[in-house]
Amino acid sequence: MPEGYLPIFVFMVVALLFPVVAIVAAKLVRPSSPFATKLEAYECGIKAASSSRGRYTVRFYIVAILFVIFDVETIFLYPWAVRYQSLGWFGVAEVTVFLVILVVGYVWAYKKGALQWV
């Protein structure tokens, strides 16, 4: 019985060692010469006007979470699109129900004001 677990333990060891070895190897190989200009934030060739460590309102995070939720839900359309021919009208009805639920959720979030920035 324990010999059946051997591949799992080998996989766990490789999974733990690979990122550690990769990070150590990258640290040994990369050039490192930090100085003030190099560590400064850089965007579009313009010096930063202020620190990027400013506070964001909760509204920003709510919009971001809603975007992720609706984005992930639309990924579920891909398997349906791949199997479209074999699903027939049942598949069309199924995806229509899914999209209606998705649109109802989007309208609800919009009516609650969750998608307004200010």
Residue 26's pLDDT is 92
Which residues make Cβ contacts (< 8 Å) with residue 62, sequence separation at least 6? Answer: 114
Distance CA 112, CA 15 (A): 44
pLDDT at 42: 67
- Decide: 63 and 115 in contact? Cβ < 8 Å: yes
CB 108 within 8 A of CB 102: no
Q: What is the pLDDT of residue 1?
A: 65
Q: Partners of 47 in the beta sheet? A: 42
Coil, strand or helix at 51: coil
pLDDT digits (tens, 9 = 90+) for 32-51: 777 777 777 666 766 666 66
Write down the pLDDT at residue 114.
Answer: 77
Residue 43 host element (H or E): strand 42-43
Q: What's the pLDDT score for residue 16?
A: 96
- What token pair was written down for 52? 């990027």
pLDDT in tens, 55-69: 777 777 888 888 888
Domains plus CATH for the chain? Answer: 2-111 (1.20.58)
Q: What is the pTM of this model?
A: 0.46
Residue 118 pLDDT exceeds 60: no
